[in-house]
Amino acid sequence: MLSGWAVAIGLGLRLRELTPAPEHPLVSSPAPARENKFASAFQEFAAHPEFAGAALGFCIFDENGATLFSSPLSEIALSPASALKTVTTGAALSILGPEFRFETVLSATSPISAEGKLDGDLVLVGSGDPTLETDDLDTLAKAVVAAGLKSVSGRLLVDTSVFPENPVSDHWVWGDLGNAYGAGAYGLNLDHNRVVLHFEPSAQVGGPAKLLDHTPVPKDTHWTNLVTTGPAGSGDQVVIYSEPYGRTIAIRGTVPAGVSGFPVYGSIPDPPALAAELLRARLEAAGVKFANTPSPSAGGKGERTVLVRHTSDALPEIIDHLHLVSDNLEAQCLFLTIGRKLHADPASAVREHYQKAGVAFTGLRLLDGSGLARANVIRPLDLARVNFATRHGAYGQRFYESLSKYAGGEARAKIGSMSGVKTQVGFLHTAQGRELTYAVMGNALPSGSDFWSRLESLLETVRTIEL
């Protein structure tokens, strides 16, 4: 069984350059007898009948980056699922720095007069912050009213130009986009771009399930509810379909019988529009008047006056949460922010970062920062080398502490999981007190395979092998 989550907080780390993760061992290869023990342990793991036909790759490095064991498929690029997030978070710590914070700004196209009049537009400027919440909009509204704002001759606009207009990857699956885990990364995000729906199942299996209520979405959103009632205990079998900036949400599938108010989590199709609606409503409730006359500043794109700011938690705290719950939105926002900071394609920027650290990728296909695209591929060897490079870099200890505990607390790692795919990458402490870097990747796994518990047994065996 998995040993549960643990996240430690630790700051104030000494700065140093990334230590290269060598393509070839820096020290002599392990003795054949020792290597045979690793091979035997992996073969016992891979020989389970439920893994027949699956692609399994496994590799282990010692403290110096020397390869202790590498199975044949560790040199073949495989789909990593959410373990790819370590590629993004490791790069973010180095490129953005541990003091980095997202900053959302409420600005104006002209200063507020002494009488509290803004002759122009009010502009909410997004930074791609994946952690911005409705309560933060409330705080911004209260602050600008306290600063004296009473009327706006123009409109309330949202500037999302920090990120590309298309918030989703063309490689994400259509059936994922409307669900909470498939939410797009907008220049202005809100409440993790997540809508919560509650259903009332029918008294009979197969009967229609009523949509009771939902958290806010843009006010002109149209719902098509085709959800029915499944057997008791069948869980959430709902798929939600929507498109970025769209106003139609279709919901299909089943919710379990006997659970009144059953919750289902979807994605908000237009978070910037919702943020504008909610912020304006709060300002109007506080007495601010909008005339809605277009500003001569061409939609608020000219020079602006900053009125109030909201800053996120520091990057390490965001990464703690990202690793803990495997948050796709947070990972994608960091990925895009890396690209913006370096004025480069984010995938190219991340690849170059690790190449400078000594990772010579082979077969890498990096399409997003979260691992949601099934077409992402990376060799187990390269995934392990990326984690080794980060662990031995300037913020390695902080990165290590953000990872979850496995193998009875002897491993710190990130897992990835989607249909047919299971991955774990991280660091294992041996019985001798040494720290190994490892990656295990499985593709084409059958549904219901007991991958994780068998992996725990493999890691327990590996940690007892004398080096």
129 pLDDT higher than 60: yes
| Residues 146 and 256 both lie in one domain | no
| Residues 154 and 291 both lie in one domain | yes
Q: The tokens of 84 are what? A: 């790819």
| Residues 294 and 422 both lie in one domain | no
The enclosing domain of 412 has a CATH number of: 3.40.710.10
Q: Give CA–CA dist 377/445, Å, rounded.
A: 16
pLDDT class of 448 with cuts at 50, 70, 90: confident
Is 22 in contact with 29 (CB distance < 8 Å)? no
**What three-state secondary structure class fits 142?**
helix
**What three-state secondary structure class fits 104?**
strand
Domain tally, the chain: 3
Does any domain span residue 167?
no
Element (H, E) at 422: strand 421-429
| Residues 119 and 235 both lie in one domain | no
* Least confident window among 22-26, 78-82, 454-458: 22-26
Does any domain span residue 71?
yes
**Is the pLDDT higher at 431 or at 31?**
431
4 pLDDT higher than 80: no
pLDDT class of 364 with cuts at 50, 70, 90: very high
Q: What is the pLDDT of residues 44-97, one digit of tens each?
A: 999 999 999 999 999 999 999 999 999 999 999 999 999 999 999 999 999 999
205 pLDDT higher than 80: yes
Is 336 in contact with 96 (CB distance < 8 Å)? no
198 pLDDT higher than 80: yes
The enclosing domain of 155 has a CATH number of: 3.50.80.20
pLDDT class of 35 with cuts at 50, 70, 90: confident
| Residues 143 and 278 both lie in one domain | yes
| Single-letter code of the amino acid located at 213 | D
Q: What percent of the chain is predicted at pLDDT more than 70? A: 91
| Residues 329 and 407 both lie in one domain | yes
Does any domain span residue 292?
yes
| Residues 325 and 382 both lie in one domain | yes
**Is the pLDDT higher at 295 or at 274?**
274
Q: Encode 123-156: b = buried (16+ Cβ within 10 Å), e = exposed.
A: bbbbbbbbbbeeebbeebbeebbeeebebbbbbb
179 pLDDT higher than 50: yes
27 pLDDT higher than 90: no
Is 99 in contact with 316 (CB distance < 8 Å)? no
| Single-letter code of the amino acid located at 141 | A
| Residues 416 and 429 both lie in one domain | yes
Q: What is the pLDDT of residue 68?
A: 96
**What three-state secondary structure class fits 42?**
helix
Q: What are phi and psi of 266, to 5 degrees?
A: -120, 180
Q: For tokens 């769209």, what's the residue?
A: 246
Does any domain span residue 95?
yes
pLDDT class of 303 with cuts at 50, 70, 90: confident
Q: What is the pLDDT of residue 369?
A: 98
The predicted model gives 442-455 an average pLDDT of: 95
Q: What is the pLDDT of residue 21?
A: 42
Residue 400 belongs to domain spanning: 32-99+315-463
Q: Where are the beta strands (DSSP E) in 269-323?
A: 289-290, 305-311
pLDDT class of 2 with cuts at 50, 70, 90: very low
Q: What is the pLDDT of residue 467?
A: 86
| Residues 246 and 369 both lie in one domain | no
- Which value, in Å, is the radius of gyration of the alpha carbons in the chain? 25
pLDDT class of 295 with cuts at 50, 70, 90: low
265, with CB counted inside 10 A (0-12, 13-18, 19+), is middle
144 pLDDT higher than 70: yes
| Residues 125 and 220 both lie in one domain | no
8 pLDDT higher than 50: no
416 pLDDT higher than 80: yes
| Residues 435 and 345 both lie in one domain | yes
11 pLDDT higher than 90: no
The predicted model gives 8-24 an average pLDDT of: 34
Does any domain span residue 114?
yes
| Residues 86 and 133 both lie in one domain | no
Does any domain span residue 130?
yes
5 pLDDT higher than 50: no
The predicted model gives 311-327 an average pLDDT of: 98
Q: Give CA–CA dist 227/223, Å, rounded.
A: 12
Give which of 122, 271, 118 is closest to 187, Cα–Cα. Answer: 271
Give which of 462, 420, 412, 421 is closest to 441, Cα–Cα. Answer: 421
Does any domain span residue 140?
yes
Is 214 in contact with 198 (CB distance < 8 Å)? yes
Q: What is the pLDDT of residue 25?
A: 39
Q: What is the pLDDT of residue 32?
A: 67
Q: What are phi and psi of 225, to 5 degrees?
A: -105, 110
Q: What is the pLDDT of residue 301?
A: 58
- Report the mean per-residue pLDDT for the chain: 92
Angle separating helix axes 451-463 and 32-46, nearest 10 degrees:
160
7 pLDDT higher than 50: no
Is 328 in contact with 362 (CB distance < 8 Å)? no
